[in-house]
Amino acid sequence: FRDPFNYQLDPLVITLLDEVGAAMHSRFAMEGKAGVTSRSGANYSTWWNGGLRTSPYFHNQIGLLTETIGNPTPVDIPFVAEKTLPQSDLPLPINPQKWHFRQSIDYSITANRAVIDYASRNKDRLLFDVYKMGLNSIERGSRNTWTTTPRRVQGAKRFEDLRDPAFRDPRGYIIPSDQSDFLTATKFANALIRNGVTVLRAATQFTAGGKTYPGGSYVIKTAQAFRPQVLDMFEPQDHPNDFAYAGAPPTPPYDIAGWTLAYQMGVKFDRILDAFDGPFQKVADEVKPPAGKVTGAPNPAGYLFSHEVNDTFLAVNRLLAMKEKEDVYWLKNSFTDNGKTYPPGTQFIPAKPGTRERLLKIAAEIGVSFDAISKKPSGDAFMLRQPRIGLWDRYGGSIPSGWTRYVLEKFEFPYTVIYDDDLRQGDLGGKFDVLIFVNDTVINPAGALRGFLQQGGTILAIGRSTEIGSRLEFPIINALAELSRSDFYVPGSILQASIDNRNPLAYGMPDRADLFFDNSPAFRINSASKDLRVVAWYDSATPLRSGWAWGQKYLDKTGAVVEVPVGKGKLFLFGPEILFRSQPHGTYKFLFNGIYYGSAEAVVLN
């Protein structure tokens, strides 16, 4: 495969891939099967971690990919002058000809036989090499090591600069159990476990790196066989500049350039650079979320629970779906009870017969905790109601819409899939409270959607779907639309943005958050438009956290998330991929808040 390869991989992964590829090439040449190419002949690299081909690399295994042209209908292979000259990546060019499906099958059989032949002849060495890669990982995680990346090389003037003790690879990572959304951190730990990573859990309080951590914290040491996978989930990816020639547009990576899962999920963790130990126990299987608690006043006026925990939305959905529905409010202002201050966005449930029992059940099942309070909050609030959700999709289905369905179902949001015909039929407000459009182009939406908004409906548009804003002629533009790829290109990377978490659309989010950006829109608003609210924005000329960003300076002072009031309704525009492949749990709240905020009733609690 072409460069770059991921810098976390053991060198044996790359050399073994070349061996298998050479064995395949040799067999094709021996059988006279022309037109086989590798490396520069295709756009695939060994950078990305996520597919059935690439994930094995991070587990000391060889991942293969072969693709053959053809289908049951014969096709013509045309004359292409530059493809007639042999080179190392195309040793036996193919002549123009009529190509039949039988040839595609024969080529696939040759590739399979080449791999089987190679494996059978080298089985003992392959097994030893897998063992050796695992041993290498354990040894590297047990001593000081440094990973050389493009940014480090660019700033180095001598070799010693690349061996700065501050830039050592971590000996381990600690995920504290006292972080606000430990339930999501537990999901991250389970993702590691499902990928074969050894995860430890602290039985009691311990100290590492000069800091004390509570019991229940997760510990992931790098002295383990799948160390490349560990580092790749915690450390930022540093994709090199990739140009065919000076002044050329960037060569795009095969899939995405940066994906650091801990960043995407909003997990708080510490990197520990020196050897450490403690009262750690291996987690034998996937972790069940720790049970929540209902604590506080014995005869409460109601219950408060955090907005910072993603799974509280699952709790709210269950509470609103119960036969004995609970009333759920978001408090607009901070509130203090029994010496504890709760931030804006804190959720409140008034007490009534059976409330405590229902909350105890949810706490045990989901892990969300509730604080019983002695006095009822007063002041401005939003009263939630279960909204009728319509998720737009194209006929035949789309991948982004499918991932959105998965996320909605995981958190038990009821929804209906709708299509263009549903938009044309009108009466959207009689059927839905919220419409969601995900990273696709909506055909001629203006009339129906404007009326839906004016009458009090809510629209959430993500990625390319945010062009709805300009189609409805709001004073908002994509600040990147006129830039060429040679000026600006950010393929699948993680950027950091500032968040206005006093806006209900961002309740529960930190002041700064990591956003997944995949050539996404970024917004510039007419300064005279006072009603439009920028909820998240890029406040730096270098917002890149993980991946690759060419021309990232153009993002400075552009909006990532915008709220547009329209009549009685609201339009929410999310430029970044806030749900990308169900990985960025750290930005799920934008979607969940938007669903409830748009249909909530502003009330005053007395």
pLDDT tens track for 127-150: 999 999 999 999 999 999 999 999
Please tell me what DSSP assigns to residue 293. Answer: -
Rounded to whole angstroms, how far apart are CA atoms 560 and 557? 10
- Write the CA distances from 477 to 255, 405, 443, 523, 553, integer angstroms: 27, 28, 19, 6, 17
User: Per-residue pLDDT averaged across 445-455, rounded?
Assistant: 87
User: Per-residue pLDDT averaged across 463-491, rounded?
Assistant: 91
Q: Convert the pLDDT of each residue in 203-224 to its tens digit.
A: 999 999 999 999 999 999 999 9
| R_g (Cα) of the chain, nearest Å | 27
Q: Could you please report the per-residue DSSP string of 457-510?
A: -EEEEEGGGGGHHHHTT-SEEETTTT--TTT-B--SEEEEEEE-TTSGGGTT--
Strand intervals (E) in 297-433: 302-305, 329-331, 335-337, 340-342, 347-350, 370-373, 379-383, 389-392, 416-418
Q: Which CATH architecture has domain 389-605?
A: 3-Layer(aba) Sandwich (3.40)
What is the residue type of 203? A
pLDDT category of residue 118 using cuts at 50, 70 and 90 = very high
Which pLDDT score is estimated for 310?
98
Structure tokens at 465: 């779907």
The neighbouring-strand residues paired with 370 are 294
Q: Which residue matches tokens 């979320």?
A: 289
Q: Convert the pLDDT of each residue in 494-533 to its tens digit.
A: 999 999 999 999 999 999 999 999 999 999 987 667 789 9
The neighbouring-strand residues paired with 336 are 341
Instruction: Count helices and strands (H / E) in the chain.
Output: 15, 32
Rounded to whole angstroms, how far apart are CA atoms 125 and 147? 27
Residue extents of the structural domains in the chain: 11-139, 150-243+251-282, 294-384, 389-605
Rounded to whole angstroms, how far apart are CA atoms 233 and 259? 8
Question: Phi/psi of residue 381, each to 5°?
Answer: -155, 170
pTM over 0.85: yes
The neighbouring-strand residues paired with 573 are 461, 562
Structure tokens at 44: 């695939």
The 3-state secondary structure of 229-282 reads: HHHHHHCCCECCCCECCCCCCECCCCCCCCCCHHHHCCCCCEEECCCCCCCEEE
What is the residue type of 188? F
Rounded to whole angstroms, how far apart are CA atoms 549 and 556? 13
Rounded to whole angstroms, how far apart are CA atoms 493 and 519? 9
End-to-end CA distance of the chain: 66
Rounded to whole angstroms, how far apart are CA atoms 109 and 112? 5
Q: Convert the pLDDT of each residue in 347-371 to its tens digit.
A: 999 999 999 999 999 999 999 999 9
Mean of all residue pLDDT scores within the chain: 95
Q: 257 pLDDT exceeds 70? A: yes
Q: Convert the pLDDT of each residue in 398-407 to its tens digit.
A: 999 999 999 9
Please tell me what DSSP assigns to residue 326. Answer: P
Rounded to whole angstroms, how far apart are CA atoms 517 and 561? 12
